[in-house]
Structure 1
Amino acid sequence: MPDLTSLSTTELSDRIGILRDNLRQLTEQAAAQSGAANEERLADRIETQSKELEGLLKEQERRERK
């Protein structure tokens, strides 16, 4: 996970939006595709993106509390 404190507030918000869109698209792909290999790969990508989004949201919340 990169150092999120180095991101500007705008960059943080932009990245959150990008990750939310990525997760929406990955979820749609997972629903449309079948096959164990595809499902596992998409599940891994969703997990990675979700963890990154969680970190960004925590950083955003930390900044808002200041």
Structure 2
Amino acid sequence: MHGEAIHLAEIERQIAATAANLRELIEQAASYSAAISEELVGQRIDDQAARLEILIRRREELLRSRAGED
């Protein structure tokens, strides 16, 4: 169970970092005017949003499995 707590803490850390990256990329996208830069930032935003969804799902699965152990 201790390992799961560490795993959950790592997922939480990754979620926070990914959400911060996403916010930063959105701010960058708002300040860029060149189409190529907008496309690149847009792709990075999509990548980070997908990563965030995966991490949130992993956290939910881990929490559900922990709730089943109680």
* Range class of TM-score, shorter chain: 0.7 to 0.9
- Residue 26 (structure 2) pairs with residue 61 (structure 1): no
**Unaligned stretches of 5+ residues in structure 2:** 1-5, 66-70
**Unaligned stretches of 5+ residues in structure 1:** 1-6
TM-score (ref. length: structure 2): 0.81
- Separation (CA, whole Å) in 2 of partners of 1:52 and 1:26: 14
TM-score (ref. length: structure 1): 0.85
What is the total number of aligned residue pairs between the two structures? 60
Stretches of 4+ moved more than 3 A in 1?
none
Q: How does 1:22-61 map to 2 (within 5 A)?
A: 22-61=21-60
More helix per residue: 1 or 2? 2
1:44, distance to aligned residue in structure 2 (A): 0.5
CA deviation digits over 1:30-61, x for unaligned, max 9?
Answer: 00111100000000000111111100000111
Name which one, 1 or 2, has greater alpha-carbon Rg.
Answer: 2
In the other structure, the counterpart of 1:14 is: 13
Aligned CA RMSD, in angstroms, stands at: 1.1
